[in-house]
């Protein structure tokens, strides 16, 4: 019985072998049925491309010779014409069939049944087509349209590539407890447009650590799945981006609306007397409405309040502590914390305007001594 394998075109040890993760993904996914370009295409084109070895290089070469606008039209035409979708569907069917025929060692024990020449030709054309459409779309930033089934397939393929070939091989992921691994996989699978998987796959592991910190500090699911928020958390204080760069305008306005009943600031009478203000120009406050809930939930216990506010034990237990309630009309703009504010406790800070204890927090300028406030000395 004929036996054979359809592996990569070149193997480890070859002069051309490139063991970068990107190339490895290429080999493992689409390059199994790699086409070879004609030798005549090898060469130098304006120093931008030195050798054409596969379809990706052919595409790059073609792109270098044609204006971007033209390529956009070509890719759009291909997509609209739907040949790619049909071929992809046929390819998937054949791949399923191959999988049925494949033995555990990766050899095609009934390889002859498909007809070597015909199958190879079909797979070569189909895989090349699929790669051209997808590679072109990715390069031009065009998301492929298609039926819901195809979108789901694409999502599955993206997840598989990102997870199996990058994230799953990262030490940062391997070191997570099993429960956390499962939760992260769920977050990757359910993040909008699969963006979390894409970003984590390209990152060296810092963002997985940031994700873990968010999980430990009970950040909301939406924030755990927000790569921008993970990036902000992974950066050191003073270099974190403005929250408007990674939070939706609707999220920001909803956060501001929480302060419609005013803001509450914990401070001390001695600080008020010393500095002649309630705080600095970037002072953390909480919504008055949530202050009421906080007292109800903690019974007024300061240790519990400190924990809910993401403070160190003992931060609120001074003898001259004061709770100041600033009415909305007196407090000016409420900003989303960026994590760059002085005195932020890195150990506890998370993006998104909530403390690690789940209480909303906002930044208010309290440096004006003319701000009216209602004090509650306790």
Partner 1 sequence: MSEKKEYILDNGWIVSKQPAEAPILHVTPLPNSIFRVRDDLELPNDIYRDIAEGERSIKELFKKHKLHNLIIKWGEPRKVLPKDNSPAKFYGRGFIVTQEDNKYFLDYQLARQGGGSRKFEISKEIYEEARTGKYATSDLFKKYNLYHLDIPENDVK
Closest approach, Cβ 306 to partner 1, in A, equals 8
Closest approach, Cβ 209 to partner 1, in A, equals 22
Residue where the block lists tokens 């009934």? 110
Does position 315 interact with partner 1 (CB under 8 A)? The reply is yes
Query: Using CA atoms, how far apart are residues 73 and 127, in angstroms rounded to an integer?
Result: 21
Question: What's the residue count for the chain?
Answer: 378
Does position 329 interact with partner 1 (CB under 8 A)? The reply is no
Cross-strand pairs, 287: 263
Does position 372 interact with partner 1 (CB under 8 A)? The reply is yes
Does position 338 interact with partner 1 (CB under 8 A)? The reply is no
Residue where the block lists tokens 């060469």? 43
Cross-strand pairs, 354: 360
Q: Which is nearer to partner 1, 82 or 270 (CB)?
A: 270
For the chain, how big is the Rg over CA atoms in Å?
A: 29
Residues 298/247, Cβ–Cβ less than 8 Å: no
Q: Which is nearer to partner 1, 244 or 312 (CB)?
A: 312
Residue where the block lists tokens 């903690």? 298
Residue 2 Rama label (left phi>0; alpha psi -120 to 50; beta): beta
Closest approach, Cβ 133 to partner 1, in A, equals 49
From 32-40, 97-105, 126-134, 366-374, span contacting partner 1 (CB under 8 A):
366-374
- The token pair that represents 258 in the structure block: 């929480």
Does position 188 interact with partner 1 (CB under 8 A)? The reply is no
Closest approach, Cβ 320 to partner 1, in A, equals 9
DSSP annotation string for 344-372: --TTT--SSSB-TTS-B-EEE----TT--
Binding-site member from 3, 156, 218, 238 for partner 1 (CB under 8 A): 238
Count of C-beta atoms within a 10 Å radius of residue 330: 16
DSSP annotation string for 123-169: HHHHHHHHHHHHHHHHHHTPPP---HHHHHHHHHHHHHHHHHHTGGG
From 42-50, 84-92, 138-146, 294-302, span contacting partner 1 (CB under 8 A):
294-302
Q: Which is nearer to partner 1, 322 or 350 (CB)?
A: 322
Q: Which is nearer to partner 1, 232 or 302 (CB)?
A: 302
Q: Which is nearer to partner 1, 201 or 344 (CB)?
A: 344
Query: Using CA atoms, how far apart are residues 108 and 242, in angstroms rounded to an integer?
Result: 55
Cross-strand pairs, 326: 263
Among residue numbers 248 through 287, which ones bind partner 1 (CB under 8 A)? 265-268, 270-286
Query: Using CA atoms, how far apart are residues 325 and 372, in angstroms rounded to an integer?
Result: 9
Query: Using CA atoms, how far apart are residues 256 and 93, in angstroms rounded to an integer?
Result: 52
Does position 300 interact with partner 1 (CB under 8 A)? The reply is yes
Q: Which is nearer to partner 1, 246 or 325 (CB)?
A: 325
Does position 345 interact with partner 1 (CB under 8 A)? The reply is yes
Binding-site member from 11, 317, 328, 333 for partner 1 (CB under 8 A): 317
Does position 168 interact with partner 1 (CB under 8 A)? The reply is no
- The token pair that represents 323 in the structure block: 């709770």
Does position 373 interact with partner 1 (CB under 8 A)? The reply is yes
Q: Which is nearer to partner 1, 106 or 377 (CB)?
A: 377
Q: Which is nearer to partner 1, 2 or 300 (CB)?
A: 300
Residue 169 Rama label (left phi>0; alpha psi -120 to 50; beta): alpha
Among residue numbers 38 through 67, which ones bind partner 1 (CB under 8 A)? none
Contacts to partner 1 by CB under 8 A: 237-238, 265-268, 270-286, 292, 295-303, 305-306, 309, 311, 315-318, 321-323, 325, 327, 341-345, 361, 363, 365-378
């Amino acid at each position: 019985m004929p036996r054979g394998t359809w592996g990569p075109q070149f193997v480890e040890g070859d002069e051309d072998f490139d063991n970068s993760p990107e190339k490895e993904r290429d080999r493992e996914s689409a390059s199994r049925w790699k086409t070879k370009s004609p030798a005549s295409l090898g060469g130098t084109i304006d120093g931008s491309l030195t050798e054409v070895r596969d379809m990706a290089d052919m595409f790059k070469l073609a792109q270098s010779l044609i204006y971007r606008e033209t390529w956009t039209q070509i890719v759009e035409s291909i997509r609209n014409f739907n040949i790619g979708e049909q071929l992809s569907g046929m390819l998937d069917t054949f791949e399923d069939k191959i999988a049925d025929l494949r033995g555990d060692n990766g050899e095609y024990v009934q390889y002859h049944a498909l007809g070597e020449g015909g199958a190879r030709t079909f797979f070569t054309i189909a895989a090349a087509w699929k790669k051209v459409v997808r590679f072109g779309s990715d390069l031009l930033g065009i998301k492929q349209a298609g039926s819901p089934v195809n979108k789901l397939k694409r999502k599955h393929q993206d997840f598989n590539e990102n997870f199996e070939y990058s994230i799953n091989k990262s030490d940062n992921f391997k070191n997570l407890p099993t429960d956390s691994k499962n939760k992260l996989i769920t977050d990757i699978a359910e993040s909008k447009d699969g963006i979390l998987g894409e970003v984590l796959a390209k990152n060296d592991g810092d963002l997985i650590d940031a994700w873990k910190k968010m999980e430990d500090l009970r950040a909301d699911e939406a924030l755990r799945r927000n790569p921008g928020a993970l990036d902000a958390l992974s950066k050191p204080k003073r270099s974190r981006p403005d929250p408007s760069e990674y939070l939706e305008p609707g999220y920001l306005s909803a956060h501001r609306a929480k302060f419609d009943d005013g803001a509450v600031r914990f401070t001390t009478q001695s600080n008020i007397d010393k500095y002649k203000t309630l705080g600095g120009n970037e002072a953390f406050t909480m919504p008055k409405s949530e202050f009421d809930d906080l007292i109800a939930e903690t019974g007024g216990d300061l240790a519990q309040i400190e924990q809910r506010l993401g403070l160190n034990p003992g931060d609120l237990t001074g003898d001259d502590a004061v709770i100041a309630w600033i009415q909305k009309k007196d407090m000016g703009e409420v900003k989303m914390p960026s994590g760059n504010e002085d005195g932020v406790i890195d150990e506890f800070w998370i993006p998104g305007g909530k403390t690690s204890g789940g209480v909303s927090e906002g930044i208010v300028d309290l440096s004006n001594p003319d701000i009216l406030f209602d004090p509650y000395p306790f």
